[in-house]
Chain A
């Protein structure tokens, strides 16, 4: 019985011109979005690989110089992307693309693409994810809003009931019909566009392919769940509405509130509960913290003198030239280690804050399945805040290792020298530069991502189960007349 109903609905939907045009537009947008996304992804990736190679060469061939000068020359870390980013660019426009790794300072990833964009960019990025998150639900609403209320208005519902069609079977048949129609449009569309995107994107670094199949599968499942939620909600509202017009208004209202208002209000609430400090406050706090350090480059600073006396006492000598390690190396290293703590404290607090804000928004996704799918889709596509933080953390860990290696070399190589000579007279060469390994970053694997987004997953599941129950419950109580 369900199948017969589903088949009838499908036929009806297929004959509806509105459905044809809307789905054609959606598929066309999907093709454009994925095509352009793939091209940009491939171009960015090629450039990044080339630049990393060149940067490594520059580092190795920087010539003979003091290790500390090399630390100031520094290295660039380029934020990688995983192939799913071509489908969901997520927050990529709003996170920095490269991070300068140098002595003394934990730089933040710089150059958000949004800062260079036109005002149009703030209307959103036309991506595969946008099409699936915003437009496909509209297609579902368009198909579903009149399914029951329309039968009632046309007077066909009474007939159906008189024929003894069970209400739940009728509703599930209709749900199946809609699902079939959406699948007929989306499955081939996504498959063809996906294959096309894969061809355009070309070969990928194995690092970027970590758990790719798994991530793809979970993304697909998440979107299926998201669409199912919309089918159930739309049908339930069609059942409960006085007229098709009222059903449409309610559904569009639901779509606007969940897709547009809740995310923005959620961001505001999260900021109100956990206010983001200004860059200024953070910078001032870092300055203050670093000021308590030993000021390696200021020999007359009281902290510097105190540190010198401490070292002289520790090794029981009277001149820094008699220390077992170069004083310049000791001072630089002590200053860096102090800096690490200061940076960890301050940026650590900022990252915790982001996490708290994200948590608030994840909890608010109870009000909006759109928020849940957005977060999950970005996370799996490697375009969320966590991914950007993972990259920054890896880059910072790399920087610390680099300055430690370089300072350790000054401590040894500059032994017996005055501070000035150790800084400017002592020179290291390529053999030291090659002791610093090339920068390498592994994107988070599937299990890490799932663990981090448990709230979103649970909320999405709750929405799914809840909407199925709601639909079944509503189906049993369909009124013949409103």
Chain B
């Protein structure tokens, strides 16, 4: 029976002009979104490779210099000895910690256009490191990207609304409802048939085009074993679409005029996709305001002043040494100076630490609140889930930054030891400086994070359908 209804519906729908206008636009946008995301992923990938190579080159040049010195091919100068540990750790050497994009990065650009995917690591605290932000025009960042997740979250519901806001009300307005009710078909069966047809058309297109397009543009999704992520994406976008279809059933079951239905659906779209997420963002920012970065800068400066005072160490130290003669002063100050300065800097950072901790705590609290508040809007849930699948979420970058901080400690410890022992690096040590290796979060971690999202969308979609069809049971057919 349902099949028969769907078949009849298809005959009707296939004669609608809007279908032939909207579907091609929809297809083009899906493909455009995938292309945009893939292009961005390539950009991130190239950058991460280049960044890493840049650091490789620096390390290699130090090794080459040492080789030349040891082979007697280069005039030795103490100041340019590549083995000086403090100098290498502070400014002559650096590591580029990179976060290469996930194979699925094209799903959603997410936070990856505002948080850098590679950072320079040296001795100085990561906070003081010159930023490696992309230099994208702020206007372009603010406007937002036209990626697959934009098409799916903003535009896909609009198409659903356009094709389903009047599934039942139009029958009444065209006068075909009486005919319909006289058939041995219940209203619910009839609506189910109509929705199933439209659903398989729109959701089906979204699923097929997204999966196929992503795989064709990013074959590494399959080879890297990320297929489950795009399968999850398909599930999520199907549930998100089902929610909007469910809403259409519910609104139609209220038995109002088509134009009223359209208004209600548009209001729901504006509320859930545009206004609510922005309002939730405002709530999270207001309830857990982050300490300003300005305050952190000031805290570090004050920490530095206090630590200097406490240590009674004078930075004019080298001037005093000069009395012993320049060469001696150079050597002594380069070793002894840093022996005193490095712990001093660590002490200064320790003094400033509370505000950094507060920042981190507030950020965590804000993030946690946002994670809870998102459940009020299916659009927010979907966006965050897509970001997780693309490894472009705030959480993913947070994890990267924690890995960088851990590596930063390794970097410091590695060079601090020879400074404390008042010696230059051995050849072995220069060759074996530990490198940063990004560990992407495991599949099970990501799955754990989006599990709640999938569940929430399931509830959203289910609730709409159940309430909608329940209301339809009492559908009287008279306009209200």
Given contacts A123-B274, A126-B278, contact A76 B115 (CB under 8 A): no
Which A residue's beta carbon lies closest to that of B279? A126
- Is A456 located at the chain interface by the 8 A CB criterion? no
Given contacts A94-B141, A252-B266, contact A427 B80 (CB under 8 A): no
Which chain B residues border A142 with CB–CB below 8 Å?
263
Could you tell me the distance between the alpha carbons of A472 and B294 in the complex, rounded to whole angstroms? 55
Which chain A residues border B47 with CB–CB below 8 Å?
278-280
Which B residue's beta carbon lies closest to that of A424? B318
Given contacts A94-B141, A270-B140, A421-B326, contact A123 B316 (CB under 8 A): no
- Is A377 located at the chain interface by the 8 A CB criterion? no
Give the residue of A135, A278, A357 whose beta carbon is less than 8 angstroms from that of B139. Answer: A357
Per-residue contact bits, chain A 86-97, to B (CB 8 Å; 1 contact, 0 not): 000011011111
Per-residue contact bits, chain B 304-334, to A (CB 8 Å; 1 contact, 0 not): 0100000000011011001000100110010
Give the residue of A264, A268, A424 whose beta carbon is less than 8 angstroms from that of B329. Answer: A424
Task: Give min CB distance, B425 to chain A, whole Å.
Answer: 20
Contact B285 A385 (CB under 8 A): no
- Stretch from A107-115, A204-212, A213-221, A337-345 that touches the partner: A107-115
Which A residue's beta carbon lies closest to that of B77? A300
Which chain B residues border A266 with CB–CB below 8 Å?
143
Residues 363-393 of B contacting A (Cβ, < 8 Å): 363, 366-367, 370, 373-374, 379-380, 383-384, 387, 393
Contact A245 B258 (CB under 8 A): yes
Residue among B75, B110, B270, B393 with most chain A CB within 10 A: B270
Give the residue of A123, A270, A427 whose beta carbon is less than 8 angstroms from that of B281. Answer: A123
Which chain B residues border A277 with CB–CB below 8 Å?
135
Which chain A residues border B263 with CB–CB below 8 Å?
18, 142, 248
Contact A58 B301 (CB under 8 A): yes
Contact B140 A424 (CB under 8 A): no
Give the residue of B138, B315, B326 whose beta carbon is less than 8 angstroms from that of A94. Answer: B138
Could you tell me the distance between the alpha carbons of A64 and B158 in the complex, rounded to whole angstroms? 67
Task: Give min CB distance, B153 to chain A, whole Å.
Answer: 9
Which chain A residues border B133 with CB–CB below 8 Å?
96, 108, 110, 112, 115, 279
Which A residue's beta carbon lies closest to that of B301? A58
Contact A47 B292 (CB under 8 A): yes
Could you tell me the distance between the alpha carbons of A122 and B374 in the complex, rounded to whole angstroms? 13
Could you tell me the distance between the alpha carbons of A125 and B383 in the complex, rounded to whole angstroms? 16
- Stretch from A28-36, A231-239, A397-405 that touches the partner: A28-36
Contact B387 A358 (CB under 8 A): no
Given contacts A91-B138, A120-B374, A123-B380, contact A107 B130 (CB under 8 A): yes
- Is B394 located at the chain interface by the 8 A CB criterion? yes
Contact B322 A421 (CB under 8 A): yes
Give the residue of B275, B301, B315, B322 whose beta carbon is less than 8 angstroms from that of A425. Answer: B322
- Is A117 located at the chain interface by the 8 A CB criterion? yes
Contact A280 B383 (CB under 8 A): no
Contact B297 A118 (CB under 8 A): no
Give the residue of B139, B330, B374, B387 whose beta carbon is less than 8 angstroms from that of A267. Answer: B139
Task: Give min CB distance, A217 to chain B, whole Å.
Answer: 25
Contact A279 B135 (CB under 8 A): yes
Could you tell me the distance between the alpha carbons of A347 and B318 in the complex, rounded to whole angstroms? 36
Contact B290 A116 (CB under 8 A): yes
Which A residue's beta carbon lies closest to that of B385? A119
Could you tell me the distance between the alpha carbons of A112 and B458 in the complex, rounded to whole angstroms? 36
- Is A256 located at the chain interface by the 8 A CB criterion? yes
Which chain B residues border A105 with CB–CB below 8 Å?
130
Given contacts A65-B315, A118-B284, contact A51 B142 (CB under 8 A): no
Could you tell me the distance between the alpha carbons of A13 and B422 in the complex, rounded to whole angstroms? 84
- Is B111 located at the chain interface by the 8 A CB criterion? yes
Residues 40-86 of B contacting A (Cβ, < 8 Å): 43, 46-47, 50-51, 75, 77, 79-80
Task: Give min CB distance, A75 to chain B, whole Å.
Answer: 11
Q: Which residues of B contact A (CB under 8 A)?
A: 36, 43, 46-47, 50-51, 75, 77, 79-80, 110-111, 114-116, 130-146, 150, 154, 158, 162, 258-259, 262-263, 266, 270, 273-275, 277-282, 284-286, 289-290, 292-295, 297-298, 301-302, 305, 315-316, 318-319, 322, 326, 329-330, 333, 363, 366-367, 370, 373-374, 379-380, 383-384, 387, 393-394
The 10 tightest CB contacts between A and B, nearest first, are A123-B277, A118-B370, A120-B281, A94-B138, A424-B318, A126-B278, A111-B293, A94-B141, A91-B138, A110-B131
Question: What are 28 sample pairs from A and B whose C-beta atoms fall under 8 A apart?
Answer: A33-B282, A51-B298, A55-B297, A55-B298, A63-B315, A94-B114, A94-B138, A98-B297, A110-B131, A112-B141, A115-B111, A115-B114, A117-B394, A118-B370, A119-B380, A123-B380, A125-B282, A130-B278, A142-B263, A264-B143, A268-B146, A276-B140, A278-B43, A279-B47, A354-B139, A358-B137, A424-B329, A425-B319
